[in-house]
Amino acid sequence: MADIGLRSGFVFMDIGCGTGFFAIPAAQIVGEKGRVYALDKEHWAIEKLRETASEKGLGNLNLRVGEAEQVVFCEACSDLVFYGIVLHDFGDPLKVLANAKRMLKPTGKLVDLDWKKKPMPFGPPLHIRFSEQRATNLIEHAGFKIEAAKEAGPYHYMIIAKP
């Protein structure tokens, strides 16, 4: 979260949030003056995230079950739209990225953290992973300007872009 510039008071969108691996720490960082919007297509994942947030006393999350291709939480309201190891999972990643562009403030950032496209004994199957180049091309095609593309440890890459 530090690498992407998340700060107190920010509005953070976790699209494809699962059970909250990134949403929970983001909610802790943005604090009471910030907001985390979290979306996942799996009802059970959102319920688990709701339970974890309640246990931790976090009241700054807005949770929704839905398809990322269909959901726009708000227009030009987000400081960061985040895809944590999920961009390759969406049926129409260009539509998902277009929705991110609608939700971002003009000064906001899109962050895509994903698996490197190389064989390893864990993670999603190699054939569904996006190479860093493919992800970069999709993000640029959706109207973003790449600010940084870098390794994020031995198994992941991170792309940061601006609208």
pLDDT of 12-38, one tens digit each? 999 999 999 999 999 999 999 999 999
How many domains, the chain? 1
pLDDT of residue 3 exceeding 90, the answer is no
pLDDT, one tens digit per residue, over 63-111 is 999 999 999 999 999 999 999 999 999 999 999 999 999 999 999 999 9
Domain-embedded: residue 2: no
In a domain, 156, yes or no: yes
Is residue 2 over pLDDT 80? Answer: no
Asked whether residue 80 is domain-assigned, the answer is yes
pLDDT at position 110, please?
Answer: 98
Residues 6+ apart with CB under 8 A from 14: 20, 22, 23, 26, 36, 37, 38, 39, 82, 84
- Structural domain containing residue 39: 14-162
Average pLDDT, the chain: 97
**DSSP symbols for 19-85:** TTTTHHHHHHHH-TTSEEEEEES-HHHHHHHHHHHHHTT---EEEEES-TTT----SS-EEEEEEES
Angle at 63 between CA 61 and CA 68, to 5 degrees: 125
Residue 86, pLDDT score:
96
**Residue 39 covered by a domain:** yes
Task: Report yes or no on 7 lying in a domain.
Answer: no
What is the structure's pLDDT at 55?
97
- Helices and strands (H and E) in the chain: how many: 4, 7
**CATH code for position 142:** 3.40.50.150
Angstrom distance (rounded) from CA 52 to CA 33? 20
CA 15, 63, 73, 95 dihedral sign is: positive
Residue whose entry in the numeric block shows the structure tokens 């129409």 = 92
